[in-house]
Amino acid sequence: MEALVGYLFTINTILTWAFASLIYKFGLKKTQAKGNVFFRLCCVSIGTFLFAIIFSNFAIIINLNDTQKFDLFIACLISGVSVSIGDLGYFIALQKIDASRAYPLTQLSLVFVYPLAFIFFGEEIELSLLIGGTLILSSVFLLSKKDKPIEENKENEDQAKISKDLITGVVLSLVAALLWALAYVSFNQARIITGDVFVPNFLRVALATIFIGILSIFQRDYLASFRKENRKFIKYSFYIGIAGALSLGLADSLFIKAAEINGLIVTSTLTASTPLVQQIFSVIILKEKFRKRFLFAIILILLGNYIILFL
């Protein structure tokens, strides 16, 4: 029964992450990537604070010894900074390539979670997980494969720009994948120290907000959403902020809670199926191009999940 609860938390995480990625793509059409990072973190800080008050108790920190408090601070700092820089890379990637291409690439974080979870938490990597994870990751390459030019005689300049944007988007998505993996492994460590997910989530987001706030002193682009000339676009920043509160705030907490129940490796592998849901949302809501090879990617994802859950 407990495992089922973990799977339900995982499903909620998948749906929230997939939908939030579309909100980010929509909002970034009118706003700047850097400007949204700090504004979104401010919204998420409020959200995670409320979640921590409702579902947890800040008194758990008082009961920790000095060593545990220091370890908690380091884990939350690493997680908060990693996820923020990773999000920035992902936001810029969304401005370069389709959401249906960028998001699947970030799921390569699974590649990094496996060794990190094995090294730091001693989690076993079973054969079914390796086979299922390999199938799911194989779908990533299908989802991110470059499209053929619609017209054979396109201008070289246009083709060069498209290629450059594609390379930039792919590289930034992969960087985000690495940083997100580090962020979740660190978040999981904070959960182990406190026995809770909501208070550590607030702490890591708060530290990330402070970090980006300090950075904004030297790079004013992070304050773009607060500028007078951008107030007409403020509603788009709020959309991104609300999506961040639900995704980075609530869904991430449920993801780590699911990892506590079913293990970080199993939970991470299952959430690698998020591109399946995200692709459906992208085609239906954002009207992005449907690519036939996505059908093969979906089959690989479903097969990978079946092997993980039932073999």
Tell me what pLDDT residue 200 has.
96
Structural domains in the chain (count): 1
Range of the domain at 225: 2-147+157-310
**What are 152-185's pLDDT values in tens digits?**
444 555 555 556 777 888 788 888 888 988 898 8
Q: Is residue 106 part of a domain?
A: yes
Q: Is residue 188 part of a domain?
A: yes
- Cα(128)–Cα(131) distance, integer angstroms: 5
- Quote the Cα angle for 51-222-178, to 5°: 70
Instruction: Please check the confidence at residue 291 and state whether its pLDDT lies above 90.
Output: no
> Is pTM beyond 0.85 here?
no
Q: Is residue 152 part of a domain?
A: no
| Bigger pLDDT: 48 vs 299 | 48
> How many CB atoms within 10 Å of residue 220?
11
Mean pLDDT is highest, among 71-75, 137-141, 287-291, for: 71-75
Percentage above 90 pLDDT, the chain: 34
Whether 246 and 48 have beta carbons less than 8 Å apart is answered as: no
Alpha carbon 31 to chain centroid, angstroms: 20
The encoded tokens of residue 116 equal 């990190």
The encoded tokens of residue 138 equal 């194989």
- Quote the Cα angle for 83-40-202, to 5°: 60
